[in-house]
Chain A
Amino acid sequence: MRAPAPDLPLMFENVSLRAGDTLLLRDIDLIIRPGAPTLLVGPNGAGKSTLLRLAMGLVAPTLGAVTWGGSPDPAPRRRAMLFQRPVMLRRSAGANLIYALKHAGVARDVWPARVRDLLERVGLEHVAQRPARKLLGGEQQRLALARALARDPEILLLDEPTANLDPAATRAVEEIVLNAAASGVKILMASHDLGQVRRLAGEVCFLVAGRLHEKAAAEVFFQHPQSPLTQAFLRGDLVMET
């Protein structure tokens, strides 16, 4: 069931995005390859969500180019996204997964088995028939994860998926993400919880004011931060324009 065209590597070449008079992102050069999870960190407004929306192909850059597996075609093939506040379709949890499978081009006869498998992966077997919008916040987030995984993604983009969750629900989401990463899914995830970044990251991209300020392996980022700005951020200082 593997779609032919790959979505990796994901490449940002000299990407800037302008909205009105505001420069949301500037001169981003970034290559995302298969491997350990990449975490996007930075203060609010640094451009983390915007970078993820570009990576998903939901918006086009003002300057520069984003490519997926070398192709500039933004139609999603083997990538999926989990939004901070996912929107559940007005139907049952199971039907939400079927919807994703259908639009990922998965053959109809394997839907029931895939739905069972996905619900099991996120621990929601017991709510398959329940209306998705009536699930608890944490359950909805897990269902949204299952819906993203239904696309059998090479790369999964996550925009602060645990920002509104309690610790137990956060742990459940992190476990699913780590399992997906272990099974070979590339994770690109925004977070402003440094504890979470330590728990999940193999690599860290530090964004400040729309610029990619530092990109480093996680242990380097935390143990030997290169710039004073990164050191200030890790100390918990408020960091602004460079």
Chain B
Amino acid sequence: MHEGSGAWQLVVSGDPALYAIVRLSLAVSLSAVALAALVGLPLGGALALARFPGRGVLIVIINAFMGLPPVVVGLAVYLLLSRSGPLGDYGLLFTPTAMVIAQAILITPIIAALTRQTVEDLWLEYRDEMNAMGVTPFARLATLLYDARIALVTAMLAGFGRAAAEVGAVMIVGGNIDGFTRTMTTAIALETSKGDLPLAMGLGLVLLAIVLAVNASAWGLRVFAERRIG
């Protein structure tokens, strides 16, 4: 299997082209997680505590959006950012920024939905105590987000896993431009179709390793927190 050994060679030798791609992928997906968390954590928390007409519908929609097809999100962001689109003037199409936007849209529902569930469960547990301590509604939300911090980090890691592994959205809005918007997933798709299997497999190995590492740290964090915080 000389493709396999070639792939391994690329990974361990620290091939600059390969690691430039890995770096860009990580930068895009981590930025997307940060952006999605900024929206998803307060949104999910507020949805857990607030009662208003249409809340149930909103929850169902957000839950359903956890499974948004990346290509559809890519298409929607493409239409928004293309020259003739409403945000066309900013010239963002085929840039890493466009990729961050698309991935953030993709994973905001994941973070919001998991946050909503977590905070709602915790609120049931904390409600009486917080009311007895005279905690104001805004402080409630902050407390619940803080006390659910471990579960929420896990939710963010789930979002990161989804962002790092998706190919459809970044392909459409990034354009897979060599050295500029080429990520691990788009490179794997391209190199496989070109027949450069060592690079594709090398990137696949790195991607797998990253996803494994993310899940291992989520697990480790849980175990650590269970032991330390209870």
Contacts of B178 in A (CB 8 A): none
Bitwise, B102-134 to A at CB < 8 A (1) or not (0) is 000000000000000000000001101101111
Binds B, one of A11-19, A28-36, A98-106: A98-106
Contacts of A77 in B (CB 8 A): 134
Contacts of A132 in B (CB 8 A): 230
Contact of B133 with A99 in the complex, beta carbons under 8 Å? yes
B215 near A: Cβ within 8 Å? no
B228 near A: Cβ within 8 Å? yes
Contacts of A53 in B (CB 8 A): 128
Contacts of B31 in A (CB 8 A): none
B143 near A: Cβ within 8 Å? yes
CA distance in complex: A1, B133 (Å): 16
B50 near A: Cβ within 8 Å? no
Bitwise, A68-97 to B at CB < 8 A (1) or not (0) is 000000011100110100111111000000
A228 to chain B, nearest CB (A): 36
Given contacts A89-B143, A90-B229, contact A76 B132 (CB under 8 A): yes
CA distance in complex: A75, B137 (Å): 12
Contacts of B229 in A (CB 8 A): 90-91, 131, 133-134
B229 to chain A, nearest CB (A): 5
Contact of B230 with A76 in the complex, beta carbons under 8 Å? no
Contact partner of B135 among A56, A88, A103, A133, CB < 8 A? A103
Contacts of B126 in A (CB 8 A): 87, 89
B139 near A: Cβ within 8 Å? yes
CA distance in complex: A80, B134 (Å): 9
A142 near B: Cβ within 8 Å? no
Contact partner of A133 among B134, B143, B230, CB < 8 A? B230
Contact of B147 with A80 in the complex, beta carbons under 8 Å? no
Contact of B134 with A104 in the complex, beta carbons under 8 Å? yes
List CB contacts (< 8 Å) of B60-106 with chain A.
none
CA distance in complex: A147, B132 (Å): 11
Interface residues on B, range: 10 to 19
Contacts of B143 in A (CB 8 A): 89, 99
Contacts of B129 in A (CB 8 A): 83, 86-87
Contact of A58 with B131 in the complex, beta carbons under 8 Å? yes
A26 near B: Cβ within 8 Å? no
Residue of B nearest to A144 (CB): B129
List CB contacts (< 8 Å) of A118-141 with chain B.
131-134
Residue of B nearest to A100 (CB): B133
B143 to chain A, nearest CB (A): 7
A186 near B: Cβ within 8 Å? no
CA distance in complex: A99, B134 (Å): 11
A151 near B: Cβ within 8 Å? yes
CA distance in complex: A87, B133 (Å): 12
A88 to chain B, nearest CB (A): 8
CA distance in complex: A212, B139 (Å): 37
Q: A53, A100, A103, A134: which has the most chain B beta carbons within 10 Å?
A: A103
Contact of A83 with B133 in the complex, beta carbons under 8 Å? no
Bitwise, A37-81 to B at CB < 8 A (1) or not (0) is 000000000000000010011100000000000000001110011
CA distance in complex: A212, B131 (Å): 26
B141 to chain A, nearest CB (A): 14
CA distance in complex: A133, B122 (Å): 14
Contact partner of B132 among A81, A90, A91, A133, CB < 8 A? A81
B11 to chain A, nearest CB (A): 40
Contact of A90 with B147 in the complex, beta carbons under 8 Å? yes
Which A-B residue pairs are the 5 nearest by beta carbons? Answer: A133-B230, A81-B132, A90-B147, A76-B134, A103-B133
- Known pairs A76-B133, A87-B128; list 19 more (Cβ under 8 Å): A53-B128, A56-B131, A58-B131, A89-B143, A89-B147, A90-B149, A90-B229, A90-B230, A91-B229, A99-B143, A103-B133, A103-B135, A103-B139, A104-B133, A131-B228, A131-B229, A134-B230, A148-B132, A151-B133
